[in-house]
Amino acid sequence: MNWIAIGHIDDIPLRGARCVRVPEGKIAVFRTAENEVFAIEDQCPHKGGPLSQGIVHGKAVTCPLHNWVISLENGQALGADEGAVRTIPVRNDDGLLSISLEPAMMAAE
């Protein structure tokens, strides 16, 4: 896999996100309250809202636009809503984060 360094976990606020621009688009990298890191496409499957500006709770994020809840683990919309965003593999080496874009930009199904 082709890993790309994206910074340190401390660059991301607890229960927050950082946006990483890549040629394929924007990726939202989230840090949960338990210090887990997840990366998903920064585009809500509903109407493209910026998920990186949403509220993180557990292993999910609530979209800031219309409150869809998206799983950070598999990119799926939770509850009654249907849709998914792509998930991107993240590696955490003692706090140094990398993402992999190939074959990462695959649809989460």
Residues that bind ligand FES (CB under 6 A): 44, 46-49, 63, 65-68
The answer to whether residues 20 and 29 touch, using CB atoms and an 8 Å cutoff, is yes
Instruction: Tell me the closest approach of the beta carbon of residue 101 to ligand FES, in angstroms.
Output: 23
CA atoms within 13 A on the CB side of 48: 2
CA atoms within 13 A on the CB side of 41: 23
Nearer to ligand FES, 44 or 104 (CB): 44
Q: What are the residues whose beta carbons fall under 8 Å from the beta carbon of 103, sequence distance 6 or more?
A: none
Nearer to ligand FES, 2 or 67 (CB): 67
The answer to whether residues 42 and 84 touch, using CB atoms and an 8 Å cutoff, is no
Instruction: Tell me the closest approach of the beta carbon of residue 70 to ligand FES, in angstroms.
Output: 8
Instruction: Tell me the closest approach of the beta carbon of residue 106 to ligand FES, in angstroms.
Output: 21
Nearer to ligand FES, 20 or 54 (CB): 54
